[in-house]
Copies of this chain bind each other. A is one copy, B any other.
Amino acid sequence: MSQERNTEEQIIAAAKKIFSTKGLAGARMQDIADEAGINKAMLHYYYRSKEKLFEIVFTEALDKLMDRMSNVINANLPLPDKIREIVKNYIQGLTENPHLPLFVLNELQQQPELLVKQFKTKPNFPNIQQFLMEIAVAGEKGIIKKISPLQLMLNILSMCVFPFAAKPLLKGVTGIDEVQFKLLIEERKQFVADFILAAITP
């Protein structure tokens, strides 16, 4: 697939693709080797075992999801504008990596410990606490309604992430094709933001 470049990177790229689409249990080392266009033994030569390789891929995936969230959350903007940015930015990010959510959520259900390892090396979630506080404060100030910050954040996340996880179901039930799906997602960047702001504006 992705020819040239040094072997290590080729492997990671292939592993990302295979693991994120088939999951840890469904992925075969041979699949990854084929995808990378190299010999299977190379996988072990560079990354010892399937689990080690998986952990690297998974950690990077989770990182990507968390970082994208953090970046936007820390922007210096009034809360409503910030929510608009978060939604737009997050949906865009998922558009570029549509398999990430289902992959991460699924593997996390089978091995919740994977989260702990992440926190030990990268404590990239305190920002979320800060965001929750911001929502609470905005509620007190009357900028938005007084509501549970956690519930609001859950709603924001839900509406951004779920459509990507439910893509096959959505396509099957509504009968839309790939183009229409992308259009629907594009439309959501504004729709969801409007929806949220309408819900929380006092």
Contacts and interface: CB of A to CB of B under 8 A. Distances in A.
B167 A109 contact: yes
B106 A106 contact: yes
A43 B99 CA distance: 33
A94 to B, nearest CB: 13
A22 B25 contact: yes
How many of these chains are in the complex? 2
A167 B198 CA distance: 27
Q: Main secondary structure on chain A at its contact with chain B?
A: helix
A171 B112 CA distance: 9
Q: Which of A151, A167, A196 has the most CB of B within 10 A?
A: A151
A170 to B, nearest CB: 7
A152 to B, nearest CB: 8
User: Which of A166, A196, A200 is most buried by chain B, counting CB atoms within 10 A of its CB?
Assistant: A166
A105 B169 contact: yes
Interface string A79-111: 000000000000000000001001011101110
7 contacts: A25-B26, A102-B109, A109-B167, A115-B172, A154-B163, A157-B162, A165-B165
Interface of A: 21-26, 99, 102, 104-106, 108-110, 112, 115-116, 119, 125, 128, 145, 147-148, 150-151, 154-155, 157-159, 161-163, 165-174, 184, 187-188, 191-192, 195-196, 198-200
